[in-house]
Structures are given as structure tokens and as C-alpha cells.
Structure 1
Amino acid sequence: MSISIPVTPVTGDAELPEQVEVVVIGGGIVGTMTALTLAERGIPVALCEKGVIGGEQSGRNWGWVRQIGRDMAELPLAIASREMWRGMNARIGAETGYRETGIAYAFHSEAEGAPWIKWRETARAHGFDTRQLSAREAAAAFPGMNPAKPLAGAILCDSDGRAEPWLATPAMAEAARRAGARVLTNCAVRTVETSAGRVSGVVTERGRIGCSQVVLAGGAWSRLFAGNLGIDFPQLQVLGTAARVTGVEGLGETAFGARKIAFRRRLDGDYTIALRSANLTPILPDNFVLMREYLPSLLGSWRDLSLRFGMSFFEDLRRPRHWAGDRVTAFETCRTLDPAPHLPNIRKAMAQLAEAFTPFASAKLVTAWAGVMDVTPDSVAVVSPIATVPGFFIASGCSGHGFGVGPALGEMAADLVMGRRPAVDPEPLSIRRLRPALA
């Protein structure tokens, strides 16, 4: 199966296990890190991915590992995850591309910088500090900047970093297998079985796996899967486009974001770029069902979102919402969400980058891709047991933040499954804040 990103291939296990303790659904970074953590602790676990490991948003994001700009509910998780990224290459014995290069958000006026200054003050009150750069300091920190387009300042987090999405998650999956996890690719889980009121197994397209606990880390597919179990998990899809460009020299290592542009240096020396905040959302039936809950986000953090109406609305409308375990599901008919990139956004990004930084004037487009983010109403992930189905957990809704915080999210999910108290308070990520009846 060919997809638009060069994710490192992971060959799944040939045999289906009859019984494990935990089944993790979804081979993105959150599901993979959950499986890795459980396997390292000696818990029998199977990781089931309907397509390829890291084939969807976990392999398509910008590769930023950031604490800067996080919601205060997520900031402790981001800090914990940064610590885990620092030791990840040694932990899994493989290259993830992680480098601690810093991430900066820059602004061209006081008004544009006001939200970042406010965030910095709030973060300092929570014990986390960043550097505020003056216009002169920002110009020195970012060589190659067009002097005709000076910055008013920037906020810089030196301990933020970057990693390579198409390397990291597959390497984590291989480490999970070495630790004892069963890794099953092209193996969609169709549904969850219960006995005596709690989880007793899953039905996959290849057969049944007995288990006592299930973690749903299905990314953009989580709402559909949970709905078949009678769980109303609020989640919408947002499409982001990014690109790789070559021929750019002299910009330094720090990742950079401003009101409309973003870039970061890659391990191969090229740059990943994007038109910041210029995301699209397909209009699907769930948009109307959940619109009231999402209005505050649409008017706030997702205010630059563009709506797109197309055939996907009718395809989704025809899609079954409930099915039995002997039915072929949408998870098998669509192995990988591989949307076409929105090239006008890439052209705008390249033009604006060339205007802001003279080295980008020589940039040449190598490739572009798009990914589907799973977005909750408050843009904060859910990692939580679901009270209506004992033994069932959701670790999803990362809202475009999952790659950076994925290691800590996976550890939190593993802790909850094992009945441990997570190192980071899980309450801000509980389903309780969105669906009290499920907590």
C-alpha cells in the first residue's frame, strides 16, 4: 500500500494471539507508546493497526516537540513528555530524529505579541518559564531575516525540540515488539466484546483476541469506533497541510512560528514548512451534531479554519454507525487517511517565507502532504477510562498536539490501565470535562 509520506515500514506479526491482557487500537504515537510502556512493564499487550504504523497524523505532523504555547491543562504533560523525548533514542535503541533545538513564536507588533506575552506570564505562574526576546535579540536569534520585515519580539523556549515523525513512531513500535508486545498491522479491530458487563475481548478482521482491557488510540477514527459501543466521544476532523523544501541554508536550528508561517530544520538538512493556522475542515454530518460545542474553539484557537464541502459529506452520511463483529468495517475499506495536500497554502507559505527570510528565496518544493487531526471541543486530549464500558479506555483527541506529548500520553494511558496513579495529574484530560456521564 502506497501513501504520500515515506514512513518507515513495520512488518506486523503473522500470527494473531489468542489472549493478552490489553489490546491497544491504533498504531499512532499514542497507541504505540501505550503498548511500549505496558510491554516494558511485563504486561501482555497487542497493538492493532488497521493500516501501517504511523501512517496517519503521527507521521504527517510538523515534528515539533513543544511546551511553548500549550494549554495550561496540557503544559505538565508537555513538560513530562519533553523529558521522555530526551532519552527516547537510548530507550528504544533507534533514531527518532529528536534534537533539542528550541522553538520560538515571533510577532511583528505589540498587539500581535500580546497573547504570547500573556501566555508567558500565565506559564510563569505555573512554574514554567521561557525567554522573551526584544526586537534586536530576535533579529540576532534568527539569521537571514529580511531587514525590511523586522520583528517586534519573540517568545523562545530553549528546551523545546523536534523529531522526525516518519522515523519515530515506527521505531517505537519495533521497540515495543522487542519488549514483548504483539504488533499487528493491516489488522483492523471491528468491535469490543463484553462479558458480565466488562471487556472480555476484541474482534479483529483476522479473528478474536481475548483481553480484559482495551485502549482506543484511534486518532481521527476514534469517534466512529466508540459510537458503535454507545459512547458519544466528541471529536471532529481538521486537515493540515505541510511540505518539505530544499535549497535553504543559513537559518540555524531553532524552529520558528509566526502569525502565518512556520518552519523547522529536518534531520536531512531540508526544512518542513507550513502556513500556520491555515487549516481546513471537511463538512461532515458530525459537524452539525457537535457544532454548539465547537463554536467557542472556532471563534478562538481555530478562527482561521476554512470549511470544505465535498463528496466526503455523502460518503460519511452513508457510513454505518453501528455494526456487528462479522461485518467488514470502514476501518478495512479505508486503511489510511491520506488526503490531498492543499497546495495553495503551500504556495502562500513559500512566498511569505521568502519575504520574511532571504534564504527561503532559493527554496525548492520537494513534496507536500496532508494529515487529519482529531480535535476535541477544547483542543485538549482525552486519556480516560470510560465508566459505561468497564475495562475500556480512550486515549485520543490530541488536536494536532499528539506527536509532541505522545510519550507522556502513552505512559498515562498505561498507568490508568494498570491502576497506577500517573506522574502527571490525569484529571484535566478526563472524559468528565466533556461527557460527565461517561466518567
Structure 2
Amino acid sequence: MGRTENARPIGTLIARGPSLGPPTDPVGSSDTQPTSSDVVVIGGGIIGLSTALFLAREGLSVVVCEKGQFAGEQSSRNWGWVRRMGRDPRELPLVVEAMRLWGEMETLVGRDVGFRRAGILYLCENDADVAHHQGWIARAGAYALDTRIISGPELARLLPGAARTFHAALYTSSDGRAEPQKAAPAIAEAAARDGAVLLADCAVRSVETSGGAISAVVTERGRIATKRVVIAGGVWSSQICRTLGLRLPQLGIRSSVLRTAPIDGGPEGAAWGPRFAYRKRLDGGYTIADGSRSLHDVVPDSFRFLGDFLPILKREWRHMRLGFGAPLVDGLRNCLRGPEGAAMAFEATRTLDPQPRQRQLAAAYAALQQAFPVFKNVPVVQQWAGMIDATPDAVPVISTVGTHPGLVIATGFSGHGFGIGPAAGRLAADLVTGAPPIVDPQPFRYERFIDGTRPQPTTGV
């Protein structure tokens, strides 16, 4: 995808290396690393970049350090859904703010990132599915807004070309979609225009403290003096926290996706079903995935955090597959290297680029073609996978850390990071500056994972 007309280069454009990931809009990288900054953000995904944007607009000097390319990992590899429907009730106040910001996104960043309120459906096969979704409406309360159960002709109108009749669906007309390969790069460019310094291919090796408080960040290019750091490293965040002696239970979930060539006559919005999920793209094609099964590649942290994740594993075991292979071997090798192993891993893996599960994608696409014959003979343009940063309760950490003054953690979005990203960045920025937070940050506190609180994952949709 090329740069749009009104985008302006900042510094040197960094070319993407070989990757299975989708091509993103280019983002400029500064040629020079500052020696000091008010805030250093570790991680150049949508969370870190949104944080940087709001901090820069408050007049703070901000440096964003990204070990690879901006939005090179999950921020450009997700489904592109922007939804309130089905969220954990603890997230709903933040999601409402995120939906508001998405509605203002073109003005906020000066570019169309493909946000459209095209509606999202969760397809129901039977009455049990309907009852399950009605339970979410009850839990959401006033936050359910326009979400409702639909069926019959109303549902059929939202599924043009469907070869079968679906029992019912949970539907939110105000939910929508946006383009992951455009959104985070546009936020990055906006942050740079407001003064943020963006550093691609710049891994952070350590965070220094003095008297227990943050004092500097050391990158592969040198030292940046700072009193405030935001860790927004996605699936890498737990490893970064470990270099500071912090225990953050977080694991990666591999999610595979494909995109099709443009087609005419398909459904306009997005939908999830037991065997497939789809989302119409701005280019006229579709992003397609299996909405029911995920893969966890076993790593040393899988054993370290097993007790933390047992509640959610017991609930989701039917939908989870385990992989044993290179990630486990590489993780064990880094553990044997000690603290230096983490820094080596950050620099050795510039872009986490897992292999997509092609058989799973083929089955999902076949199921979609059976339900919607319009997709038959439509070629697959690309397949890729990304790594979701999951927490034991599937709720993110957006939090200060009492033992480390000046540190804010923003990670563990558990597959919700793209849609919630702008508001999560705003909340992280509020925590950095001490401004009144956009929403109550209590549900996202880091300490819930170290103070004996039992993880409480809610029943998902």
C-alpha cells in the first residue's frame, strides 16, 4: 500500500525486509538518536505510537524505540475489527472512548485509515448461542448501546449472497473496521509531525534506574537520559519487564489470517462464525480467519506462568492448540544466556514473523465459500500470522508500577489492541503526565498479577 497524497516523509524511510506480513504504509525513521527525552516509548505498534501522539500533543519530548519496523508485528497483522460488542465489561468504558477516537481519526492524523461503521455480526447456530450473547448484553448494561439480537429477513439483508439461513446473530451497527496496514503508520506520522522522534531498527537493551526511579534507556545506538518510560512492546513486553526485575505474566497466541483479491457482491461489514470470520477491506477484498481456534507456541514462559493461565486454559482448552518447536528451543537458549539473552533476542528478531497455519486457513476459507458462494474462485492474495499478547484474564495492563516510579506498562491486549489502541494510548499518556485519566485505570492495574488477585477471565463472545 502506498503513501497517501497528504503524507509527508520524516527523516529516512526504512525499507521493509523479507516478511510474510502484509505491506504497511511506510513510516519515516529519524537519523539521529537524542541523548535525552521527557519520555521514551518502547515499542512502535499502535499502542506505543498512540501514546507518543498524545504525549507529543501535550508538548513533551518523546522518543519511540522500535527494534524493527513500525507496525511490523501484530499492529498490522490483526483482523482490523473495531468493536465494542463482546468486550470484557472491564474494558467497555475504554472501548467507548476508543470508538469516539476512531470516529475522529481522519481529523486526528490527517489521513483516511479506512475506518467505517459497517457493523459487526456474531453468527448464531442455535438457541444456546443466542442465550450466550444475550448474557453479554445483560452484563454490558448501558454499554450495550445499539447491540441486539437479530434474525430472519433483517439478518438476511446483512448477508447478501448467503447460501444458507443463519439462526440469528448478535449485531452492533455502530461497530466497524479499519485498515491495520494504514492506521498505525498514520498515527506514527502524526506523532512525528507533532515532534515525536521515531527510531526504527533501534532495540532497547536495558532500562536504567537510580534510587529505584527510571533514569535512562540504553539502546543499541547509545543512552537516552529520561525519567519516564512506557513499555508497549506487545508480546515482547514481559521479557522487557524481566530486565527490570518485574514479573508480568503474558504469553503469545499465534493467529493466522489471509486476504483475498477484490470481489463484488460480498457482505459489507464483518462477521464471526464458528468456522470462519471475515472483514471487508478498503481495497474491496476480504480479511479471513478461523474465528474459533488459536495456537500457542510453547516457550519457557509457558511453564513459568502456567499457574496464572490455568483458569483461562480450563475455559478455552477446546479452542487452543499447542505448538512445540523452534520458539521453545530459542527461548531455552536465551534463558541459558541470562539477562544478556533478552537483549540478544530483541536484536536477533527484528520482526516476529510466524508461519501462518495454512491448513487452518484453507478450512476457514472453504467454510466461508460454502456459506457464501460469491467467494468461490476468488484468489487468495496473501497469508500471514501474527502474535497476540495475552494476559491471564484477557484484560490489558495499562498501569504505573509502584516499585518503579516513572514506568508505565501498556500491553497484554489479548487480541483487542487494534480496536482499543487509540484510547489505550491516551490512557497511557495520562498516566505518564499525571493528568486526569480518560477512564478509571483501576481494572488495568499491573499489581493485580502480583498481589494475589486471582485472574478472572469473563466468558467471551
**1:36 pairs with 2:53:** yes
- Report the CA distance between 1:3 and its aligned residue: 1.8
Check whether the contact 1:60–1:371 (CA below 8 A) recurs between aligned residues: yes
Aligned-partner SS, 2:380: strand
- 2:273 is matched with which residue? 258
Residue pairs, 1:41-190, within 5 angstroms:
41-126=58-143, 128-146=145-163, 149-190=164-205
Aligned-partner SS, 2:29: coil
Work out the CA distance in 2 between the residues paired with 1:260 and 1:71. 22
Work out the CA distance in 1 between the residues paired with 2:258 and 2:188. 25
Deviates more, 1:53-62 or 1:295-304: 295-304
- 1:370 is matched with which residue? 385
For structure 2, the residue ranges without an aligned partner over 5 or more in a row are 1-16, 454-461
Deviates more, 1:327-336 or 1:19-28: 327-336
**1:3 pairs with 2:19:** yes
- The amino acid of 2:345's aligned partner reads A
- The amino acid of 1:368's aligned partner reads Q
Q: How many residues align?
A: 435
- 2:13 is matched with which residue? none
Residue pairs, 1:194-233, within 5 angstroms:
194-233=209-248
- 1:346 is matched with which residue? 361
Work out the CA distance in 1 between the residues paired with 2:376 and 2:340. 55
Identity level (%): 45
Work out the CA distance in 2 between the residues paired with 1:144 and 1:121. 32
Deviates more, 1:382-391 or 1:240-249: 240-249
Work out the CA distance in 2 between the residues paired with 1:189 and 1:195. 18
Check whether the contact 2:137–2:144 (CA below 8 A) recurs between aligned residues: no
- Report the CA distance between 1:420 and its aligned residue: 1.6
Deviates more, 1:288-297 or 1:314-323: 314-323
Aligned residues: CA RMSD: 1.7
Residues 347-393 of structure 1 deviation map (CA, whole Å, 9 limit, x = unaligned): 00111001111212232111100000110001110000111211111
Check whether the contact 2:212–2:403 (CA below 8 A) recurs between aligned residues: no
> How high is the TM-score relative to the length of structure 2?
0.91
Work out the CA distance in 2 between the residues paired with 1:96 and 1:232. 36
- 2:294 is matched with which residue? 279
> How high is the TM-score relative to the length of structure 1?
0.96
Check whether the contact 1:227–1:322 (CA below 8 A) recurs between aligned residues: no
- The amino acid of 1:430's aligned partner reads R
Work out the CA distance in 2 between the residues paired with 1:195 and 1:298. 39
Work out the CA distance in 2 between the residues paired with 1:339 and 1:75. 31
- The 3 A distance-change label for structure 1 pair 322 and 389 is farther
Residues 384-423 of structure 1 deviation map (CA, whole Å, 9 limit, x = unaligned): 0111211111100011110000000000000000012212
Work out the CA distance in 1 between the residues paired with 2:146 and 2:291. 24
- Report the CA distance between 1:125 and its aligned residue: 4.9
Work out the CA distance in 2 between the residues paired with 1:151 and 1:304. 22
Residues 226-280 of structure 1 deviation map (CA, whole Å, 9 limit, x = unaligned): 0111000000110000000125321232111112211011010000000112211
Deviates more, 1:81-90 or 1:188-197: 188-197
- 1:235 is matched with which residue? 250
For structure 1, the residue ranges without an aligned partner over 5 or more in a row are none
- The amino acid of 1:117's aligned partner reads Q
- 1:293 is matched with which residue? 308
Aligned-partner SS, 2:385: strand
- 2:413 is matched with which residue? 398
- The amino acid of 1:385's aligned partner reads T
Work out the CA distance in 2 between the residues paired with 1:91 and 1:301. 38
Work out the CA distance in 2 between the residues paired with 1:304 and 1:328. 33
Check whether the contact 1:248–1:362 (CA below 8 A) recurs between aligned residues: no
Work out the CA distance in 1 between the residues paired with 2:129 and 2:152. 13
**1:244 pairs with 2:253:** no
- Report the CA distance between 1:126 and its aligned residue: 4.6
